[in-house]
Chains A and B, each alone.
Chain A
């Protein structure tokens, strides 16, 4: 009984995602831990895309290179996946559609014939979902219920044809000789399918709704667009104002206008779009306006690999915007952290009147994971806005540098914001003494921001550890799983979900341990900052920047080398 990895390969537009959308909830409802991630090309039709589903013994959130079962549906499957197929891989393919690879255990799979038998080739994906359940020996009832739910709006005939297609696939799977060789991990179902299943984008969106987010202005850009779509879909139910901006410059400036008027605003973009937003980051710093900026990272420079993943924008957000002001950078690594830290991002932005960044990436946003419902927590909102008095000063000097935040139209005062250096009243000034004090005011919040900074999460036992594997953002899952497989009590993991500023306690937490950083970028951007901040030496770097996520296998291998197991 080991973890199972099933990969579905197909051309864009072929509906590989549909298979996943059917299988994941079924497997989840049957009590399995599931994880799925996707990789796809930047095109609308054709090419070769894959989705990997993992059925695992323990909850996992990482990509594995190994393929146990492959459903190859496009002619490019062989070329695209050759390096991942070994002699143990069961390759399900139709020779009519797809040249069977030389490697692997190839099984002629009559998808088209069974779909036609059910009524039309459009039922192919349902046939495949049925086949998988048959091969795994998972009961068909859950799938039938799901198909009924998904297709009931299209009428009873479509529902029944889908159910027939699933049954035909299922029976084929049950009778396939390979079925006997497939082991499923232990199923921990107690009969109550209380688990949730969602992707990173949904967790981000749920976090935003929980945070009282009521304004989004953004320009679509992969892989960040999902948050805009999510909030647009929920706009009426949750009173969210959604505006698709003409460009990213407009997006962030509209977000800041909204924030000035009292909204809880977010913008979502990727590195290239964020390049255009930088003037707005600087403006947020100057006007002391709260705004949450979500960046779904993808490989650059320039257009880079639009649909792939990377962690290359840490330095960008750390230094974005001219002039000096406070900021915070969060990098959630799990669904639970996405929900929680999105709320924290809003809370910190509104408590300290600053721009706050959420750094995610394509891998994290698109990956779907089963999780316990209890992991989703909602935190109360803090009062952020005051009714102004007649003599209100929006930039009044205070001990902690934070002036009570008024908004236009609420109270007897006037609210003035100026991107020039300004007086306490918000008017342009070139008074050097006021300038000196305003800088002090804007930077005074850095101290408390450090003190309140989240500490990294430890995997394993840090007291025993001689080596620490340091990661951030979406690499949490792969590091945890690799350490689990490595099973070395002297190696622990340290995951940073807040990258900036660092809590002063981080240096002592690192101690004198050997530090190995793992980052999905070519120059270990975060490690560079960590070394400067803590004065620690980075002993090893596990880096990647191919556009793919780290696989568990490669991290285990790299760690073995680093800690001398080889």
Chain B
């Protein structure tokens, strides 16, 4: 792990609720370093999350935090962005939170294309509730609930995102801090809805998708891949063996929801209430 100090570090005595060896630790390092690389002011950053072990990440980052309800990070992030577009809004949560409980919001956040970066800890299992299947669990994985093995087809966040023309779609492996850090920095720098799905081993409950498994079943993005090529990006997103890592898709042409909605630079808390004249005019319409 990197020992680099960042302005997003919490005090050294901070108790971290993650298990020893969890991929979350490396991902946290990558996120803090990426934020530091970008020179973001912690006071202008809001880390938004839902519920789960991954969703605790904002507790360990020195920034504003909205740790809301399970699955609801994206609606809260939208409300925050639309109320103050000067804030950098980063959503960090798990696969169950973002693809299961919050699946509908995932689709509609992409449709809107407001400026948010989603960092999704994808460990293919539910950790905090002790080992049940997640939306990305592989078929056949046995759990205390899926006693005969997982039946449904795993959710493919990248393919879904590209199908919806999400303008920035990437995947990394938490074990590769350097790549995760640089892709996350790219994603935050990108103006629009950017998605970084991060393979993150759960060392307690997922005995199948281990560090070793991820290393053996992933590969670098093909050097000749053009991220502007949506069809090629989709083909890579549905590729199973091996699973490519890196930036799949990038579309700089989608307009920002904030711009299209006429959101101004003035945060809503600074916006003066309507003047008496305007209010009178409003009433006059009912004369």
- List A residues at the B interface (Cβ < 8 Å): 193-198, 202, 206, 209-210, 212, 214-215, 217, 234-239, 241-243, 245-247, 249-251, 253-265, 279-280, 283, 287, 373, 376, 378, 381, 385, 407-420, 426-428
Contacts and interface: CB of A to CB of B under 8 A. Distances in A.
21 contacts: A193-B287, A196-B286, A198-B286, A215-B79, A239-B268, A249-B72, A250-B72, A250-B78, A254-B78, A254-B79, A254-B82, A262-B268, A263-B79, A283-B68, A373-B287, A409-B64, A409-B84, A410-B269, A416-B67, A417-B68, A426-B65
Contacts of A257: 48, 66, 68, 75-80, 83
Nearest to A29: B287
A419 B67 contact: yes
B147 interface: no
A215 B17 CA distance: 36
Interface stretch (B155-163, B248-256, B275-283): B275-283
Nearest to B47: A416
B108 A258 contact: no
A152 B70 CA distance: 53
Contacts of B203: none
Contacts of A210: 274, 279
A262 B283 CA distance: 27
B78 A381 contact: no
Contact of B283 (A242, A254, A373, A411): A373
A417 B66 contact: yes
Given A414-B62, A427-B59, A260 B79 contact: yes
Given A261-B267, A373-B283, A414-B64, A409 B79 contact: no
Given A246-B105, A279-B69, A417-B67, A215 B286 contact: no
B283 A196 contact: yes
Interface stretch (B38-46, B133-141, B234-242): B38-46
A261 B271 contact: no
B85 to A, nearest CB: 10
A256 B83 CA distance: 11
Interface of B: 17, 42-44, 46, 48, 51, 56, 59, 62-69, 71-72, 74-80, 82-84, 86-87, 104-105, 107-108, 261-264, 267-271, 273-274, 276, 278-279, 282-283, 286-287
A408 to B, nearest CB: 4
Grouping DSSP codes into helix (H, G, I), strand (E, B) and loop, the A interface class, with mixed when no group exceeds half, is mixed
B80 A260 contact: yes
Given A197-B286, A236-B262, A414-B64, A265 B51 contact: no
Contacts of A209: 274, 279, 282
A413 B46 CA distance: 12
B69 A253 contact: yes
Contacts of A419: 51, 67-69
A214 B69 contact: no
B69 A409 contact: no
Contacts of B43: 408-409, 411-414
Contacts of A245: 75, 108
Given A378-B279, A417-B66, A196 B79 contact: no
B65 to A, nearest CB: 4
Given A214-B271, A408-B64, A414-B63, A259 B287 contact: no
Given A209-B274, A210-B279, A260-B80, 5 more contacts: A241-B268, A250-B74, A279-B72, A376-B283, A416-B65
B64 A415 contact: yes
Contacts of A239: 264, 268, 271, 274
Nearest to A194: B287
A254 B287 contact: no
Contact of B68 (A214, A256, A381, A411): A256
A206 B282 contact: yes
Contacts of A212: 273-274
B42 to A, nearest CB: 7
Of A206, A250, A413, A420, most buried by chain B (CB within 10 Å of CB) is A250
B268 A264 contact: yes
A65 to B, nearest CB: 28
A415 B276 CA distance: 33
A413 B42 CA distance: 10
A241 B269 CA distance: 12
Contacts of A381: 273
Contacts of B273: 212, 381
A262 B68 contact: no
Contacts of A194: 287
Contacts of B262: 235-236
B83 A263 contact: yes
Contacts of A234: 282
Contact of A214 (B62, B105, B268, B278): B268
Contacts of B68: 253, 256-257, 283, 287, 417, 419
Contact of B82 (A215, A409, A416): A215
The 9 A-B residue pairs with the shortest CB-CB distance, nearest first, are A257-B79, A262-B269, A257-B76, A258-B79, A253-B75, A408-B64, A261-B83, A254-B79, A246-B108
A249 B67 contact: no
B86 A409 contact: yes
A428 B269 CA distance: 27
Nearest to B17: A428
B267 to A, nearest CB: 6
A413 B87 CA distance: 14
A253 B268 contact: no
Contact of A262 (B59, B71, B263, B267): B267
Contacts of A235: 262
Nearest to A368: B286
Nearest to B262: A236
Nearest to B274: A238
A293 to B, nearest CB: 14
A409 B268 CA distance: 12
Contacts of A259: 79
A258 B80 contact: yes
A238 B282 CA distance: 10
